[in-house]
Amino acid sequence: MPLTQAREITAASRLTNVRYAIRDLACVADEVTKQGHKVLPLNIGDPLSFDFQTPPHIIEAVHKAMRDGKNGYAPSEGVHEALEAIRGEAARKGITTLRDVFVTTGVSETVDVCLSALVNPEEDFLTPSPDYPLYSAVLCKLGNRLNAYDLNEEDGWQPELADIERKITPHTRGIVIINPNNPTGSLCTREMLEQIAELARRHNLIVFSDEIYDKLILDGTQHIAFASVAPDVPCVTFGGMSKNYLVPGWRIGWGIVSGDAAAVKSYTEGVHRLLRARLCANHPEQYAIKAALEGPQDHLVEVQRKLRSRRDLTQKWCEATPRVSCVEPRGAFYAYPRIDIPESDEVFVKELIRQKHVMVVHGSGFGQKPGTQHFRIVFLPDEQTLTRAYAGIADFIREHYS
């Protein structure tokens, strides 16, 4: 007779602070949906959930790879033609000290691999606040202390250099820049990138520059890659196909290592040990990288046009709505309005789902200065859907806080 095991199998304690606010709200939305209501989703940055379509030549490249039998394992670092296309993209971005490139299962894996190959248990890595919550989730998974630096809302959400410098310790290994930023839609200026580079030089830090939205610039300016203004500084530039080329479900990302060759050699070898341990990224989808980066870019004109129009609608609504203010987004497809309410933004967004069936994400899920409340809007839906959603949010604010 087998013994009955009564002892609970608990999760690792290092997962206590792992949160992913964007999807953690799904249970509230499910509750509303089961009651027969349709939820207006302004929470997930998936263009294909709305009126955006993957460029056909990219789909054909993957289809051809599958027909040609590219369905087994790929080299751990990525297929040759994809790596060559990424090297070409690095050159177009002005990265002159290219040392290595590799393909990953989305930028999520790039982040995980690059942090895992770098930080020891007692060390930390500077991440922006607000930021995309994956960075803090990976650091919590690794058991590392979180060390967040502030973005300055009064300065267009630029990094606060003084705060970065205050928080650098002998245990700090590097700095994350998200540019364009998720969740704020802000862009780093060239001057800011140069000043961050100087901090990195002075304190012997590596920079992770997350540039996944680099082709979705909404104000007519050109994106500036960190590695192009600081060729000597050890840097990994994160890029991928999900947002720029409208294939988030394919999970194809990459890392571009640059900087002084001797400085990054050992670290790059560590990254490749982890890449080999997980075998490879999705194989046939890698054949879309060359088609995407070197093929027609026509879709970007229409994507930017739609996003600019929806950004403008969003900004006008924020300016016209009592208790709401917003720094105008300059890139990506997010707005991060500040809201003047007496309760937490998490309560605000949950009740907004339940009462008005509109889903946004609470600012505390991304980080914010104490005493401030925000929420993140994804302005990917068409103007009619956005207008309906914004009317619901305005009604909620008027009913609860007027």
111, 271 Cβ separation under 8 angstroms: no
Running DSSP on this structure, what letter comes out for residue 331?
B
The answer on pLDDT for 6 being more than 70 is no
> Among residues 136, 155, 222, which one has the least CA distance to residue 195?
155
- Residues 159-194: pLDDT tens digits? 999 999 999 999 999 999 999 999 999 999 999 999
State the pLDDT at residue 327. Answer: 98
Q: What is the mean pLDDT of residues 377-400?
A: 97
In order of 93, 96, 180, 194, the CA distances from 190 in angstroms are 14, 17, 13, 6
The 3-state DSSP class for residue 149 equals strand
The per-residue pLDDT for 22 is 66
Pairing outcome for strands 253-258 and 324-325: unpaired
**Chain segment 287-344, per-residue pLDDT in tens:** 999 999 999 999 999 999 999 999 999 999 999 999 999 999 999 999 999 999 999 9
Mean pLDDT, the chain, rounded, equals: 95
**pLDDT recorded at residue 3:** 62
d(CA 188, CA 177): 9
Is the N-terminal amide bond of 130 cis, ω within 30° of 0? yes
Percent of the chain whose predicted confidence (pLDDT) is above 90: 89
In order of their start, the domains of the chain are 13-52+298-401 (3.90.1150.10), 56-294 (3.40.640.10)
Q: What is the pLDDT of residue 21?
A: 66
Phi-psi bin for 204: left (phi > 0), alpha (psi -120 to 50), beta? left
Q: What is the 3-state secondary structure (H, E, C) of 286-317?
A: HHHHHHHHHCCCHHHHHHHHHHHHHHHHHHHH
Phi-psi region of 106 (alpha: psi -120 to 50; beta: other; left: phi over 0): left
Q: What does DSSP say about strands 338-339 and 324-325: parallel, antiparallel, or unpaired?
A: antiparallel
Structure token digits, residue 305: 């046009």
Structure tokens at 314: 């969003």
pLDDT of residue 14: 77
Residue 191 burial (CB count, 10 A): 10
Average pLDDT for 254-273: 97
Tens of pLDDT along 202-249?
999 999 999 999 999 998 888 999 999 999 999 999 999 999 999 999
